[in-house]
Amino acid sequence: MQFPEYRARRLRRMENLRRLVRETQLSVDNLIYPLFVCPGKNVRREVPSMPGVFQLSVDAATEEACKAADLGIPAVILFGIPQKKDEVGSEAWHDGGVVQRACREIKKARPDLVVILDACFCEYTSHGHCGVLTEAGDVDNDATLENLGRLALSYGRAGCDVVAPSGMMDGMVGFIRDTLDEGGFENVAIMAYSAKYASGFYGPFRDAAESAPKFGDRRSYQMDPCNSIEALREIALDVEEGADIIMVKPALAYLDVIARAREEFDLPLAAYNVSGEYAMLKAAAERGWLDHDRVMMEILTAIRRAGADMILTYHALEAARLLARH
């Protein structure tokens, strides 16, 4: 007697049958490649906690972006490491800053490549927090919004396609949208880090971006990992304020949040496969504990399956090369 549960196996017995019934497709079109831009020339400095990831000078970042474009990756996101830091992160809105210059060079070399500029101050402030501090050491939300406006205008002048505010300030999306529109940059889109959790998975990023806080942590403005309903409220606020793309960060430990956001909202949804997720796989693969490429593709497919339309991932080049073979 043939039991009904065995019928599915008929469709699993060969690769082309599995392809025909595959529910989730991972494509190079889903990938966004993060780059860390630093001062200097011909700089390609590997991040010890992120094998294969580098701090790159403007010329090297432009070359790396062109590699991504050649592989069919549609977008890069840039993070800046400034020459100097101060209490308010003023280098972030300097028109001659590293990300502004890198944006101009990348758009000159590959006008078709989408350039996203991360909008936060943790890399630029001397204290490592994401905005202006009060005397009590708390982030001053409204003063930080004013500086985000200056930053957004600088990014618009640099020719970016998308501004990505990531500091989790209240009202940041609406403030940036109004500022961009008033400045004549109506066509610059906003990718909002709408549900950004106070996660332990960011450690290697802070090495790469040199952005670790000098005191305290960011739990007072980033989300509690215990909450998912709150994430929907945060996303809804950003949608109301004019976000074009919404994001959940991190990705792998928050697949349930990605799935809930996908069910609730019809805007394009991004997920950030963050530095700690990347570093864990690299470390395990180096020890021979995991098959790197297989697990990498499984992770990225899981993020897609949860509902993400686009994935910010340090694996972008590796994944694009594997996808090109199939």
Please report the pLDDT score of residue 21 as a whole number. Answer: 86
- Which residue in the list 67, 84, 85, 196 is annotated as catalytic? 196
Distance between CA atoms of 318 and 35, rounded to whole angstroms? 14
288 located within any domain: yes
Helices 292-306 and 316-324 sit at what angle, rounded to 10 degrees?
Answer: 100
Residue 253: how many other CB atoms lie within 10 Å: 15
For the entire predicted model, the pTM comes to: 0.93
Give the model confidence (pLDDT) of 43-84 as tens digits.
999 999 999 999 999 999 999 999 999 999 999 999 999 888
Torsion of the alpha carbons at 61, 62, 65 and 66, rounded to the nearest 10: -140
Which structural domain range is residue 215 located in?
24-324
267 located within any domain: yes
8 located within any domain: no
Please report the pLDDT score of residue 130 as a whole number. Answer: 65
Total count of domains within the chain: 1
Please report the pLDDT score of residue 128 as a whole number. Answer: 60
Which residue ranges of the chain lie beneath pLDDT 50? 215
Please report the pLDDT score of residue 218 as a whole number. Answer: 56
CATH number of 47's domain:
3.20.20.70
CA 209, chain centre distance (Å): 13
144 located within any domain: yes
- Which residue in the list 41, 107, 214, 249 is annotated as catalytic? 249
67 is catalytic: no
197 located within any domain: yes
Classify the C-alpha dihedral 201-207-211-215 as positive or negative: positive
Distance between CA atoms of 210 and 217, rounded to whole angstroms? 15
Please report the pLDDT score of residue 158 as a whole number. Answer: 97
39 located within any domain: yes
Please report the pLDDT score of residue 220 as a whole number. Answer: 65
244 located within any domain: yes
210 located within any domain: yes
249 is catalytic: yes
Give buried/exposed letters for 48-84 (b at 16+ CB in 10 A, else e). Answer: ebbeebbbbbbbbbbebbeebbebebbbbbbbbbbee
